[in-house]
Structure 1
Amino acid sequence: MVSVIVPCYNQASYLEEALASVLRQEYQEWECIIVNDGSTDATATISKKWIKKDKRFKYLEQENSGVVAARNNGIKQAVGDYVLPLDADDKIGKEYLAKALGRFKNNEKLKLVYCEGEYFGELEKKWDLPEFTLQELATRNIIFNCAMFKKIDWERIGGYDANCTKGLEDWEFWIHLLKDGGEVYKIPKVCFYYRQVGNSRNVSITLQQYKEIYEYLSLKHTAFFVEHLGSFKFLYEKLKKLERQNTRLEKQIKANNNTLTMKRILKLLIRRIK
């Protein structure tokens, strides 16, 4: 069985579209756990409607604690051997569960399966994802959060890091999951659709926040970064470059009314530190 985990914080207007994409799956042995992270909108009402519609939908409530806690709490309750996180404003193609699970069944060394992605909403285009390598993963996050992994591996590494409250929790999770070995497979088909709107969860992150996250990950996974990027001196110099860019990029963020997306920030950063 696959457990689809859907954290939701005040995204009731998008939630039904996400849940409908789960209901349309060709693979039928799934459960979908909706985790209401203290929403003040119609999330509870919509969720309860869906659990009446199909018993495979389940519903949890928690005080507002953030997406990391919501995902972890949902996965704790999951009965499936495989887990697929899905944000409440995104959606998946009908073949995703079947194709991902099929890869796991054919390869016991596999730890992670994801797919081609596509933007929709305010921006509609193919998501240009680089080919996976550990070196590329050490440079930046190259896998979106909606990727399938085994629950036993989530348990082994202690779940999503509760310290990653400012973002990039999925990057930390992929590093932790893969740094000691295991294979990754990307399905050569678009099965994930990432909504682009002004209030998307990843829309607003300051350079200072990004620097703090990167510094935390560098310290937690030092051996991984050293192995794949070179030396700790390399990491130190990379952080210093981030600091030197702080003033100018912060001004750019303010000039754009704080609507510079994390994707655009990361592009600027990568361009300057490569």
Structure 2
Amino acid sequence: MDFKVSIIVPSYNQAQYLGEALQSVLHQTYLNWECIIVDDGSQDKTKEVAELFISKDPRFKYFYQENRGLSSARNFGIDKSVGSILLPLDADDKISGDYIEKALKVLQDDPSIKVVYCEAEKFGKESGLWELETFSLFNLSRMNMIFCSALFRRVEWERVGGFDENMKYGWEDWEFWISILKNGGDVKKLDFVGFYYRITDNNMHRRISRDQYTYLFEYLSVKHADFFVRYFGSFHAMNQDLQKKENEMSAILKSEKFVINLFCKTFFGFSLFNKKRL
């Protein structure tokens, strides 16, 4: 069966990178795709870059909306698409030419698999392999280890109501993976580099405020309370465990032995109390 893949590329003032992202789409060895470019209220030449690629290949399509953020732009693009398989791609990133072909084969061969992704490499201001934690639901309860450019089925996006537009300060990918995976389904990570994550000054220095951080965690904790309780235990147990760790650390820091030992290791390179005696 020849699945149609819809690649969703939101862009907000990223015209300088958009061409590289779209060129990586154009180079796909798998041919049955469409690429939905969503201009999220840009004030640069995003439209001109998109039109250049549309003139090259009608599989590219351009849509504009007033600026509403990344989750909204992805949902808007998916609404305009027709593929049964979805692949988000940020406008400043790239994929390898064989990524879709290899990932799609996994989804075709095994209906139990909900998400397929691959090894990732950084480029731009930094380079090298992007070391990601091994996927498990336990690990997912603590952090996100699946970048946005994974392939998944449209029915999963529909089932959970799309990307949550309340995640307006970030972490929308983490919330989405929790939504579609917390009640079952397998994940496959391919053993090759198929995704390239651009490091820029913006994402190197981007920080969310304490209030934004608190908002996101409180929102996640309420929406997915069942998931976090399953892997952390009850909130009462979580609080007790945290209090125990704080008490233990406080006792260690007050320990004269700890302070002397830390001083010796820092300034003289050995541990006074664990030094082997000849």
TM > 0.5 fold call: yes
| Ranges of 4+ aligned residues in structure 1 off by more than 4 Å | 234-240
Aligned partners of 1:114, 1:54: CA distance in 2, in Å?
A: 26
SS at match of 2:116: strand
Aligned partners of 1:16 and 1:46 also within 8 Å: yes
Q: Does 1:172 align with 2:175?
A: yes
Letter paired with 2:133: P
TM-score, with structure 2 as normaliser: 0.83
Percent same amino acid among aligned pairs? 51
CA gap 1:89/1:201 in 2 versus in 1, 3 angstroms: farther
> Computing the radius of gyration over CA atoms, which structure comes out larger, 1 or 2?
2
Report what 2:151 is aligned to. 148
Aligned partners of 2:210, 2:54: CA distance in 1, in Å?
A: 40
Aligned partners of 1:35 and 1:74 also within 8 Å: yes
Q: Does 1:99 align with 2:102?
A: yes
CA gap 1:218/1:238 in 2 versus in 1, 3 angstroms: farther
Aligned partners of 1:218 and 1:235 also within 8 Å: no
1:113-135, Cα deviation, whole Å (9 max, x unpaired): 01100110000010101111000
Aligned partners of 2:26, 2:37: CA distance in 1, in Å?
A: 13
Aligned partners of 1:87, 1:237: CA distance in 2, in Å?
A: 40
Candidates 121, 128, 145, aligned match of 2:124: 121
Unaligned 5+ residue runs, structure 2? 244-278
TM-score, with structure 1 as normaliser: 0.84
CA gap 1:69/1:81 in 2 versus in 1, 3 angstroms: same
1:212-266, Cα deviation, whole Å (9 max, x unpaired): 21111011100101111222235557999xxxxxxxxxxxxxxxxxxxxxxxxxx
Aligned partners of 1:35 and 1:59 also within 8 Å: yes
SS at match of 1:146: coil
Aligned partners of 2:74, 2:25: CA distance in 1, in Å?
A: 17
Aligned partners of 1:42, 1:125: CA distance in 2, in Å?
A: 30
Q: Does 1:36 align with 2:22?
A: no
Candidates 52, 56, 72, aligned match of 2:59: 56
CA gap 1:39/1:180 in 2 versus in 1, 3 angstroms: same
Candidates 183, 193, 200, aligned match of 2:203: 200
CA gap 1:159/1:179 in 2 versus in 1, 3 angstroms: same
Report what 2:264 is aligned to. none
Alignment of 1:181-196 (within 5 A): 181-196=184-199
Q: Does 1:161 align with 2:151?
A: no
CA gap 1:21/1:232 in 2 versus in 1, 3 angstroms: same
Aligned partners of 1:140, 1:43: CA distance in 2, in Å?
A: 32
For these two proteins, the number of residue pairs brought into alignment is: 240
RMSD: 1.7
Aligned partners of 1:224, 1:133: CA distance in 2, in Å?
A: 13
1:148-177, Cα deviation, whole Å (9 max, x unpaired): 110111001100011100100010000000
CA gap 1:168/1:238 in 2 versus in 1, 3 angstroms: farther
Aligned partners of 1:172 and 1:217 also within 8 Å: yes
Q: CA offset at residue 209 of structure 1?
A: 1.8
Report what 1:233 is aligned to. 236
Letter paired with 2:51: K
CA gap 1:236/1:211 in 2 versus in 1, 3 angstroms: farther
Unaligned 5+ residue runs, structure 1? 241-274
Candidates 61, 69, 72, aligned match of 2:75: 72
CA gap 1:117/1:221 in 2 versus in 1, 3 angstroms: same
Q: CA offset at residue 202 of structure 1?
A: 8.2
Q: CA offset at residue 207 of structure 1?
A: 3.7
